[in-house]
Chain A
Amino acid sequence: MTGPVSPATEPNRSDRRAELMLGALASVVLVLIAGMLVFVLTKAWPSFSHNGLAWFGSGGNVDDQLIDIFNSPANPDKYEYTLHAWPLLYATALVTVGAVAIGLSFALFAAIFIVEFAPDRLRAVLEPVVRLLAAVPSVIYGLIGILVLVPFVGNHLIGTETKKSVAYVVQLSGNSMLVAVVILTVMITPIMIALIVDALRAVPGSWTEGAHALGANRWRVVWTIAVRAARPAIVGACVLATARALGEAIMLSMVSGSVGFAPNPLDGLTFFVEPMRPLAATIVDNAEGLSVKPLGQTLYAFAAVLLVSSLFLSLGAWAVRQPMKRYGVRP
């Protein structure tokens, strides 16, 4: 700390004005979020109220149910709402958890390398590239997926025998969980790397220097001091990555298989190449039918689930971060 800051004896008028303005802006954001939540939930309500908790369960074929909803009769009393969205929820959870888990382990080590071990010249290239990758629009990843990865997986990784063995249940064409998770991981890892790098840099030098002075080697210092101190930021990075993965729609709609199937872990290796379709991708694929009222309400119900889960995600992350904050650096 350098000398004392100039003492503010009385509140400055322009400070006060800035405070009011910024406060108002922040409140507008809050009102917007609350308004959005209320709007989506109101729109979605008929779908939830007709199905009750069964909405979240499994049963029947979810694509057939969506088609029936789309083909509802004109009479509002006879609208079809029956839906068991489990395969879509399960697919969303699978790709999100898969991508964030793989992405986190990769991002953590990549960030440690960049901050602690990379030679200066390599670092000068690596960091801007990572930040650039974080900004690539998802539709580009989707195009790479359907033009390169999906045909590769479909024609080279899946044998005809495997395709035959499950042909009566599901078709394996390369549009799969594997491709979805791989591309999603590539999409979210750069953001995580960038955030974790910033956090590791923010660890006070005196802490790591102290550890060095006690004779610990670089790896031990990074792992036991810097990474530990950066844990709140790492959780924050995971939350941002999860939110992006949850809401990713276009890319997943292009590569994930376009069929409401719940991949079965008991199928062994085939499990990874089975198609599926997460919630956000389902909204994109069916957006053409938004004008059919019950289908629109069902799509709003998907949106509501995504919205509420990202709210809970933020709350959960806040709760997890509390005990870590005592010795941590702020993200």
Chain B
Amino acid sequence: MKHRLPLVVAVAILAVAVPASTASARTTISMSGSTSVAPLAAKLAKGYLKAHPGAATFRLAQGGSDVGVADVAAGRVTIGNSSRDPKGTDPGGLVWSRIARDAICIATNSSNPVSGLTQAQVQAIFSGSVRDWSQVPGSPKSGPIDLVVRTAASGTQDAFQKIFMGSAKVSSSAAQKASNGLVAQSIKSDPNAVGYVSLAFTKGLNDARYKGVACNLRNAKSGQYEGVRNFWMVTRGRPTGGALKFIRWIQRSKAAHAITATGWVPIRG
């Protein structure tokens, strides 16, 4: 019973296959952290090895943004992935390199095609001052609104609070889920639910327009959609060696930008 507790952070280790062409000792780049960044990091690692065969060996684990930051600060990994911005309680000496931007969509059940919400409406709904769908213009439903949010430690929660809520507080009666996938599943199975997920998780859900702009990749790239947050790769001190080359490649090469652009917004520069 007790021994199950450390396993709670289901750490999925994804080994990226490396062509065994070079016999020399390769640099190993290990990463852990945000579940939102993980799919992108895996794609980038694969692309990097295609561009520079045998340049490095990758190990990618997940666990959440805070886990990534803690791991890299303790020297357990080369790079910590984070989907939240740096904050005051983070350990000192960390360098944050921005690798991409990601859209957060407000999603409802597909039987409740809410077309669009203003920031004031999002704040009213998620803070609990509007509690019935009949009070939400554009919703064909009536009935209490079920809020689905993320736990406090989530990077997505952090971004949602900063971008959408501002100083308003998310209602404490909201159900707090531990991952993007669980939020999406809750919204799928509950016609009255509303929540927010990373763009990559919106399949099968209805995305509401935010401030009149649809939540999709094109609008996120053009900068019209405002619900966009940063993805970071965090290193202890300035990145060096293999990690430096990898992060530079992500930020500067055309190939990396093309990979990122399949689902996220690349960073120029």
A interface, CB within 8 angstroms of B: 36, 61, 63-64, 66-67, 70-74, 146-147, 150-151, 154-155, 160, 163-164, 167-175, 243-244, 246-247, 249-250, 253-254, 257-259, 261, 275, 280, 283-292, 295, 303, 306-307, 310
Contacts and interface: CB of A to CB of B under 8 A. Distances in A.
A244 B146 contact: no
A320 to B, nearest CB: 20
B189 A285 contact: no
Interface residues of B, number: 42
Interface in B38-81: 63-67, 69-70
Contacts of B178: 253, 258, 284-285, 287-288
A295 B153 contact: yes
Contact of B152 (A154, A175, A289, A306): A289
B85 interface: no
Interface in B133-155: 142-147, 151-154
Given A155-B191, A288-B67, A247 B88 contact: no
Given A155-B191, A295-B153, A261 B173 contact: yes
Nearest to B189: A151
A74 B153 contact: no
Contacts of B132: 164, 167
A303 B190 CA distance: 32
B190 A164 contact: no
A303 B1 CA distance: 11
Contacts of B153: 70, 286-289, 292, 295
Contacts of A280: 5
B9 interface: yes
Contacts of B176: 63, 258-259, 285
A291 B67 contact: yes
B124 interface: no
A299 to B, nearest CB: 9
Contacts of A169: 173
Nearest to A79: B89
Given A155-B191, A258-B176, A259-B174, 20 more contacts: A63-B172, A63-B176, A71-B152, A74-B89, A151-B189, A163-B144, A167-B131, A171-B147, A173-B186, A174-B190, A247-B4, A253-B178, A257-B175, A259-B173, A286-B153, A288-B65, A288-B67, A288-B178, A291-B66, A310-B2
A61 B172 contact: yes
Interface of B: 1-2, 4-5, 8-9, 63-67, 69-70, 88-89, 131-132, 142-147, 151-154, 172-178, 182, 185-186, 189-193
B66 A74 contact: no
Q: When A and B form their complex, which 3 residue pairs have the shortest distance between CB atoms, in order from nearest?
A: A289-B153, A247-B1, A291-B70
Contacts of A172: 144, 146
B131 to A, nearest CB: 5
Contacts of A167: 131-132, 144-145
A254 B179 CA distance: 11
